[in-house]
A and B are shown apart, each in its own frame.
Chain A
Amino acid sequence: MSAPPAGWGRFEQALVSGRPVVTCEIGSADGADPEDVRKRARLVRDHVDAVNVPDNTGGMVHASPLSSCAILAQEGIDPVMHMTVRDRNRLALQSDLLSAALLGVRNVLCLSGDHMVHGDHPDTKPVYDIDSVQLVALAAHMTREGTYLSGRPIKPPPSLFPGAAANPFAPPYEFRPLRVGKKVDAGARFIQTQIVFNVARFRTFMERVVDLGLHKRVPILAGVAPVRSVKAATFMRDGVPGMDVPDAIVRRMEAAGDKKARREEEGIRICVEIIDELRGMPGLAGFHLMPIAWEAAVATISKGAGLRPALGSSRPPLHASPVPELASA
């Protein structure tokens, strides 16, 4: 067996290091140019421990995240591949999980996926053969038991690192922390949340998570994102179900005016303020930056908020770990 790529396992190591972890998301290729993925990856690589690539996000066709993740792995980055149950049945899911392991991609974020009615092919057939929790269990099963769902052995089995998403901002709110618990029971090794704009709601969610002791069983990364314009803010508030953008943020973006530089600066300032508010929140293991089609913002936000990757930087961490339990895990 050939040596794994340079970034292999870095995300897991970062999570067990006990230091705050930073990940970010870059869009999968939207054209047939691999250089485009490399170029965007280079913008973020020094600021994060792992890079997520979404799977046909918003129901819009992109290159398979597997291909973009394979390119990231060649670049020495540890990629996190999003995998939705929207487009594939259990045969294709297992096949893609194994393919990912072959190409040096081991971190898999298991999702239901944005429904296709929101995308550019609303007329397509939904698959939803299994659900996202079962996908977590499936990835964990392939790694742990070394067999497919059918029981047939995989030789050698993949070493996958399955994770899951959490959205504290959509009803039923009481169910959300318990659903995190369900995903951990299924075998999730990390959790990345929906973008936090409503810090109060997120705090309530995290308090419940800590009550349930889930923060000791799984590292939770809070999703944060910069808003680029009033239009983007209102769209996220009104047009994206399951997102909670307080009016105060929209008003601040409106107050920033029409000039691009001014409103981008304000968007980043809001994002940094949210990170500052979240920092040190009990149970939080780090941040997941989602600069939607704005990769250059990752560097600015990291600098502004003093975020640095848990690994990949020789300097000592700026803040004490919010999750000391993980250091000894």
Chain B
Amino acid sequence: MGDRASRPAIGFRYEPPPLFRWPMGFLQRHPRLTRQVNRAAAPFENLTKVILFSCNMCGQCVLHETGFTCPMNCPKQNRDGPCGGVRANGHCEVIPEMVCVWVKAERRSRRLPWRRDLFRVQAPLDWRRKGSSAIVNMLADPFAEDGEP
């Protein structure tokens, strides 16, 4: 993972399993190429994830931890669970016609064997990564400080 990788000061950020060590090493050795790959991959990732999960391209995907519900659809952009304003019918207090993303996340995550991930404190977002490819970001440098790309 190199010297420039450092864990976030607070919260947890997903780290890819050792299986990905080879592509990770490759991408980390070629930062310029990584940037290109990221730019090329982002639109495809956008297309598929928007259709499937109404993704917001924050660049630090937690879909797998939230029962495949994008928390960035929450008007408060809560990444750690529901706010106190959820309506009695489970809808959002800000957008009354939308089901609260955390009501959905809680329900959907029950089917996941790794449901416990839902109760882990998330690291604050790196807003520089918004719009970039979360998969390339994760492989290139999960804890990057320099905000590529």
Q: Is the CB of A182 within 8 A of B81?
A: yes
Interface residues on B, range: 35 or more
User: A133-175: contact bitstring with B at CB < 8 Å (1 yes, 0 no)?
Assistant: 1100110010001010111000000000000011100111011
Q: Given A115-B76, A128-B77, A134-B124, are A171 and B11 neighbors across the interface (CB < 8 Å)? A: no
- B76, A241: Cβ atoms closer than 8 Å: no
Residue from A126, A141, A172, A194 within 8 A of B82 (CB atoms): A172
Instruction: Provide the bound-state CA to CA distance between A138 and B102, in Å.
Output: 22
Interface size class of A (residues with CB under 8 A): 35 or more
* Min distance, Cβ B8 to any Cβ of chain A, angstroms: 9
B10 and A149 within 8 A (CB): yes
Q: Which residues of A contact B123 (CB under 8 A)?
A: 134
Q: Is A295 an interface residue (CB 8 A)?
A: no
Tell me the B67-87 residues at the A interface (CB within 8 Å).
75-87
Q: Are B76 and A171 in contact (CB under 8 A)?
A: no
B76 with A86: CB separation less than 8 A: yes
Taking a contact as CB atoms under 8 Å apart, the answer to whether A137 and B11 are in contact is: yes
A238–B75 Cα distance when bound, in Å, is 21
Chain A residues near B82 (CB-CB < 8 A): 170-172, 175, 179
Most chain B Cβ neighbours within 10 Å, of A85, A113, A137, A166: A137
Binary A-proximity of B129-140 (CB < 8 A = 1, otherwise 0): 000000000000
Q: Does A186 contact B (CB under 8 A)?
A: yes
Contact between B93 and A149, CB atoms less than 8 A apart: no
* Given A181-B119, A182-B119, A242-B93: A133 and B81 interface contact (C-beta under 8 Å): yes
Q: A residues near B, CB below 8 A?
A: 85-86, 90, 112-115, 117-118, 126, 128-134, 137-138, 141, 145, 147, 149-151, 165-167, 170-172, 174-175, 178-179, 181-182, 185-186, 194, 241-242, 244
